[in-house]
Amino acid sequence: MIALLRTGPAQDPKARHQGLSQFLVDCRLSGISIRPILDLVGEEGFNEITFDDVFVPDSMLVGTEGQGWEQATAELAFERAGPERYLSSLPLLTEALDDLRAEPAAPEAVGRLLARAGTLRQMSLAVAGMLQDGKTPAREAALVKDAGNDYEQSLPEKIRALVDPARTPPQVQEMLGLMTMVARSYSLRGGTREILRGIIARQLGLR
């Protein structure tokens, strides 16, 4: 796993990210314990990892010592703005389309959902372009993920409000139930909503 560890003091007490380095840590090292965290559907999406007197050799250093925060920020931009951050719930919309055609309110609602997906795609591509140009779009990536989280979490609720349970096929009902349960985790993975909005506020000079 990749770990962000302190290897030196922060020159500025207010800049706690200084003095951090990245390491590619072998999870088989003595002293590392991994405890899976079960989600609502009984799956292991997250782990709790503890270190007890673990020795991490210099050979596991990734990049430059002391530049771990800068490296992690650039890496997180890739993760937070990728298509997997706003398309997780879209298969539900695709699966439910045939059933939605008979619902009077569906055309406008589906149009809005597809328009939001298209907007998020353009935002994601813009971040990818900035990364390709060697920039570090921390604020832009956080915006994509925050907006993507809202989209992914709201889509199952909107579909639930539109479909008629009496006419909905079992596979759509099953997918809707699953998406409704797991959607809560979307604003946790890759950075919580509060962390993301803190990044955005800081980049805009609001805090």
Q: What is the pLDDT of residues 90-113, one digit of tens each?
A: 999 999 988 888 888 899 999 999
Going by their DSSP bridges, the two strands 44-51 and 32-38 should be labelled as antiparallel
Mean pLDDT, range 116-125, rounded to an integer: 96
Please give the C-alpha separations between residue 156 and each of 82, 182, 193, in angstroms, as whole numbers.
20, 10, 19
Q: Across the chain, what does the average pLDDT equal?
A: 90
* Alpha-carbon gap, residue 124 to 85, rounded angstroms: 9
pLDDT confidence band for 78 (50 / 70 / 90) = confident
pLDDT confidence band for 16 (50 / 70 / 90) = confident
Please give the C-alpha separations between residue 85 and each of 40, 89, 143, 188, 199, in angstroms, as whole numbers.
20, 10, 11, 11, 17
Region 68-203: CATH code: 1.20.140.10
Contact indicator for 113, 176 with CB cutoff of 8 Å: no
Q: What pLDDT is recorded for position 140?
A: 94
Q: What pLDDT is recorded for position 185?
A: 84
* Alpha-carbon gap, residue 191 to 80, rounded angstroms: 8
Mean pLDDT, range 170-188, rounded to an integer: 90
* Alpha-carbon gap, residue 167 to 155, rounded angstroms: 19
Residue 198 three-state SS: helix
* Residue 46 backbone dihedrals phi, psi, to 5 degrees: -135, 160
* Alpha-carbon gap, residue 97 to 101, rounded angstroms: 6
Q: Characterize 113-144 residue by residue with b for buried, 16 or more Cβ atoms within 10 angstroms of its Cβ, and e for exposed.
A: beebbeebeebbeebbebbeeeebbbbbbbbb
Among 6-15, 85-94, 170-179, the minimum mean pLDDT is found in: 6-15
How do the domains of the chain map onto residue ranges? 2-62, 68-203
Report the percentage of the chain scoring pLDDT > 90: 58
- The per-residue pLDDT for range 35-59, each reduced to its tens digit, is 999 887 788 878 999 999 999 999 9
pLDDT confidence band for 151 (50 / 70 / 90) = very high
Contact indicator for 62, 75 with CB cutoff of 8 Å: no
Helix (H) or strand (E) holding 193: helix 193-203
